[in-house]
Amino acid sequence: MKKLVVLSLGVVFAMSQSNAQKIKGSETVLPITQKAAELYIKSNPKSNVSVTGGGSGVGIAALIGGSTDIAQASRKMKFDERQKIQQSGNTVKEVIIAYDALAVIINPGNKVTNLTREQVEGIFTGKIKNWKEVGGEDMKVVPYSRETSSGTYEFFKESVLKNKNPMSGIMSMPANGAIIQSVKQTKGAIAYVGLAYVNKDVKAVHISYDKGKTFVEPSVKNAINKTYPIVRPLYFYYLKRHEAKVKAFVDYILSPAGQQIVGDVGYVTVK
């Protein structure tokens, strides 16, 4: 599987000022959108596509505020966010562009390979404080989390923590790249990232959602065959009144060429 590591600052792909459009939001979706924008303008030289990260919540807030044309999100838009859009007289369109297997990662020097969902919950809520409690060596657990504006944070809290709050004082990181770096440098670390960000600097844990009967590795294959339990859709959101402006790029993401990018980056295609 080809991996792509992308800086959280985002980049701007531009060749002219006609048909300019802005895309902002999820750090998880960012590698797909950046690569797609880069290739899209090669065949559409009059296009101007600006792509930045910041988190799903930031992207959706920008869409509501009118400062972006597309919000990229790794979580579903909330009811109150939809309400704000409706109150402004607009209608929002939702498009699933890919799927992601969310990976729980640890330092490669940690001998733990398997964790149940309940153990991960215990670690992130502060009930489990030492790796020896889950079959590891006598070493303090150092959990890292994404910021609360992150769709990855919200999905992890909902799916893995079953809506329990992470422990107070947990170290929050603004982007997946910072998470990877922290886990690489800290032997007792544990965190979570989108599958495309997993590399040789970290180790992805095999996860069980049946109380330890079966442990499954996060991978594209296991996401497709539905054996890996932590899978989520990745979204584009845009206002219906802007559909003519963004449709060509959205269609490109959903085309065979765009979905090839999804697979190359390390995510699961929609078909």
pLDDT band at 207 (very low <50, low <70, confident <90, very high): very high
What pLDDT digit, counting tens, does each position of 156-202 carry? 999 999 999 999 999 999 889 999 999 999 999 999 999 999 999 99
pLDDT band at 271 (very low <50, low <70, confident <90, very high): confident
What domains sit in the chain, N to C, each tagged with a CATH number? Answer: 11-99+233-265 (3.40.190.10), 101-224 (3.40.190.10)
Q: Is the pLDDT of residue 17 over 70?
A: no
* pTM assigned to the model: 0.88
What is the C-alpha to C-alpha distance for residues 33 and 49, in angstroms, rounded to an integer? Answer: 10
**Residue 74 confidence (pLDDT):** 96
pLDDT band at 236 (very low <50, low <70, confident <90, very high): very high
**Residue 78 confidence (pLDDT):** 95
What pLDDT digit, counting tens, does each position of 33-75 carry? 999 999 999 988 888 999 999 999 999 999 999 999 999 999 9
Instruction: Tell me the average pLDDT of the chain.
Output: 92
Burial 176-205 (b: 16+ CB within 10 A, else e): bbbbbebbbebbbbbbbbbbbbbeeebbbb
